[in-house]
Amino acid sequence: MQRPHGVLLLLLVLTASLLLFWNLEEAPLERWDELTNINVVQETRSGGHLLPVLGGKPFLEKPPLWYLLTSALTSFTGDHLFWYRSVSAFSGLGCVLLLVLIVKRTHDIASGLASGFTLLSVVHLFVPSVAGLFSSHTFRSADLDALQLFLLCAAWFVFRSEHKRKIAFTSILIGCAYLVKGPLALGLLGVCVFTLYRRRAELRTFAELVLPAAVLAGLWFCLMFKYTSGGIWDSYILYHQLARISGIEMHVEPVWFYILILAHPLTNPAALPAGIAWLRSLKSGSLAAVSAAALLAGLSFILTKLSWYVFPVYILLALITGRMYRQFALPLQILLYVAVAAGILQSLWYVIRL
């Protein structure tokens, strides 16, 4: 690694750490969904339960992994808001670093750094309700999104590695990601299956990819069916998963809702260079670009819309931007630098003033 790149990597880590950890405990507790999540952790921990509970009953809104991990962490660190939010903050830092490594592996360190800084420029990931947008979830909140995205980034990093057991490890990570927040993990599983299909992999390899993840998710479902006498079917599967397709809790927005968020200069300052990179990649049939388009289309046609559902698209766009960085003309590179600086400064201004 050349010295300038080493300096930039250090700057990336320091900037990410400031954005994620500075004044982490100072932001007001968000009613949706931080308060509920923390209440679940506290009751689960204090009662010594093996599965999340709330109000003396099994908590069925979301899978258990974030709650159990946070419960274990706070049993050692104490009941402090910083530690409830730290799982997301550490996961966000992991996402940034994994993005750098993923792009560096196929391109170079400069492209990897471009991906990392592009992700850090997304104000929406660090500042709640930016630009008047209702968005209580961030990489600094006691929510589940960042941990799931970190596990999915880790799964893809392992999948594209040379490790001889990479398929099984990928499956385990995808299974864990499902146990954090559900269906998004199935999207990456589908991408991995498609990749193996294009490589004409053996049937045994497909089984190695699917079975560990299916066993992890299946064990949780079976345990919860027994533990709740089938209540998980109505509460989690029918309501918190399938009912969202038709719209619940008045979270119904126009079909272009996520496009407006992605293109807004205050939520995503690097929208223009990232959008250009995505269009160019899409023309060449890039798997990441096609995946971003498919994910955005799927989210857009599901009637229940919440602004933080778009978080994985930001990661894909940052990945694509880094990969295309070397092909940018100088004016577009300069535009990216300015956008990254503007986004990071906007988020830092929020964090420092807490």
User: pLDDT by residue (tens digit) across 96-127?
Assistant: 999 999 999 999 999 999 999 999 999 999 99
Averaged pLDDT for residues 171-197? 97
Instruction: Kindly state the average pLDDT of the residues 256-264.
Output: 96
CA distance 174 to 181: 11
Burial bucket for residue 197 (CB in 10 Å: 0-12, 13-18, 19+): exposed
Query: How many beta carbons lie within 10 A of that of residue 27, not counting itself?
Result: 18
Query: Which helix H or strand E contains 57, and what residues bound it?
Result: strand 57-58
The boundaries of the domain holding residue 223 are 3-352
Q: What is the per-residue pLDDT for 186?
A: 96
pLDDT of residue 247: 66
Q: What average pLDDT does the segment 302-324 reach? A: 96
Write the DSSP assignment of 17-55 as a string of letters. Answer: HHHHHTTTTTSPPPIIIIIHHHHHHHHHHHHT-SS-EET
Higher pLDDT, 70 or 55: 70
**Joined tokens for residue 63:** 């899978």
Nearest to 100, CA basis, from 120, 85, 86 = 120
Residue 107's SS3 state is: coil
202 backbone dihedrals φ, ψ, rounded to 5°:
-75, 160
In DSSP notation, 281-308 reads HHHTT-HHHHHHHHHHHHHHHSSB--GG
pLDDT digits over 213-227, tens only?
Answer: 999 999 998 888 888
Taking 80 as the threshold, does the pLDDT of residue 335 lie above it? Answer: yes
Q: Which pLDDT score is estimated for 304? A: 87
pTM for this one? Answer: 0.96
In angstroms, rounded to a whole number, what is the distance separating the alpha carbons of residues 126 and 352?
12
pLDDT, averaged across the chain:
94
Q: Whole-angstrom Cα distance, residue 279 to residue 26? A: 39
User: What is the average pLDDT across 220-243?
Assistant: 80
248 pLDDT tier (thresholds 50, 70, 90): low
Q: Give the CA radius of gyration of the chain.
A: 20
Looking at the 3D structure of the chain, how many domains does it have?
1
pLDDT at 228: 80
Residue corresponding to tokens 């300015």: 338
